[in-house]
Amino acid sequence: MNTSQVRFAQRKLQAHGVTVDENGLLDEATERAVESQLKRRPELPAAWKEWSTTRKVVAFLQLLATDAGVDVGSIDGLWGPNTDFGYSSLRHLDEHGQLPPNWRDIPQPPVTNPNHWPAEDEPALRAFYGPVGTHLKRVQLPYPHKLSWDKNVVLNSFSCHEMVGESLQRVLTQVFDHYGQERISKLGLDLFGGCFNKRKKRGGSSWSMHAWAIALDYDPERNRLHWNRNEARFARPEYDAWWRFWEAEGWVSLGRARNFDWMHIQAARP
């Protein structure tokens, strides 16, 4: 967490009637203050009292976002893309008195679609993939991945929909053959932001492609949801081959198609 995020949490603690300085420090006073709020919440896992001060403060922000109607997933005290979205939504709520509006423009899909991925339309998705959260399989990765929010966790496999598994393995094998492990790590092509997550779209009201496990996020910290091609790392020329491999299989980059959410790749046609 950075200083502004800590200050924001401290202001929210003050708004809840807790005495704490707005100093941007994760000190003992802030820990005691946030614990006074967390102990009232049954949503927390039993082990939350053993978490670090940082993790407790993040959990507090996750709870605030949940209370405001923003889906941040599990209350786990870890700062991933869902928490980042929840935090930005809380800031917008503070500044404007309401949550940011839902926004989803319709992109132009790439021409190639050899796997016949369906349209990003819930009836079409259900007809092709089945209900959300079903038909999952574990796929082995051609090169190791690291969780983007906890880089000490190394993944050699993850769960996706069974109908997209072979395709994504082909793509990642091409990525490994083209870039090699050293350059993959340098470019952040191993920083995994998630696949299966049964949730609604951030900034939307329909099911996310992650709910079907047909979407992947990579390096979300440097390719944030609202960033355009002037900010997102994946818009740089050195990533052209990365996108070419995905698009040859019919996967859609929201960044390339719509110039936002450059972390995101999906097996559905917007």
> How far is CA 49 from each of CA 26, 32, 57, 72, rounded to the nearest angstrom?
16, 11, 12, 21
Contact 207, 201 (CB under 8 A): yes
> Number of structural domains, the chain?
2
- In terms of domains, do 60 and 177 share one? no
Q: Which residues contact 67 (CB under 8 A, 6 or more apart)?
A: none
Is 57 a domain residue?
yes
CA torsion through residues 150, 153, 155, 159, sign = negative
- In terms of domains, do 188 and 223 share one? yes
- In terms of domains, do 69 and 16 share one? yes
The confidence score (pLDDT) of residue 226 equals 87
Range of the structural domain that residue 196 is part of:
122-266
The confidence score (pLDDT) of residue 102 equals 67
| Confidence band, pLDDT 50/70/90 cuts, at residue 147 | very high
Is 201 a domain residue?
yes
Residue 170 reports pLDDT greater than 90: yes
Residue type, 241: A
Provide the angle, in degrees to the nearest 10, between the axes of the packed helices 3-15 and 81-96: 60
- Nearest Cα neighbor of 111 from 241, 255, 269 is 269
- In terms of domains, do 140 and 257 share one? yes
Residue 104 reports pLDDT greater than 60: no
Is 102 a domain residue?
no
The confidence score (pLDDT) of residue 216 equals 97
DSSP state of 49: G
Is 105 a domain residue?
no
What average pLDDT score do residues 231-252 get? 94
CA angle at residue 205 from 202 to 208, to 5 degrees?
55
Tell me the pLDDT tens digit for each residue of 68-80.
999 888 899 999 8
Structure-token pair, residue 94: 């503070």
- In terms of domains, do 157 and 255 share one? yes
* Mean pLDDT score across all residues of the chain: 92
Domain containing 223 — which CATH number? 3.30.1380
- In terms of domains, do 81 and 157 share one? no
Q: How many percent of the chain have pLDDT more than 70?
A: 96
Is 101 a domain residue?
no
Residue 213 reports pLDDT greater than 90: yes
Max Cα distance, the chain (Å): 60
Is 155 a domain residue?
yes
What average pLDDT score do residues 148-166 get? 97
- In terms of domains, do 242 and 135 share one? yes
Is 111 a domain residue?
no
Residue 105 reports pLDDT greater than 70: no
- In terms of domains, do 250 and 174 share one? yes
Integer Cα distance of 196 and 136 in angstroms: 9
- In terms of domains, do 20 and 134 share one? no
Give the 3-state secondary structure of residue 156: strand
Residue 106 reports pLDDT greater than 50: no
Write the Ramachandran bin of 78: left for phi over 0, alpha for psi from -120 to 50, otherwise beta. Answer: beta
Higher pLDDT: 240 or 104? It is 240
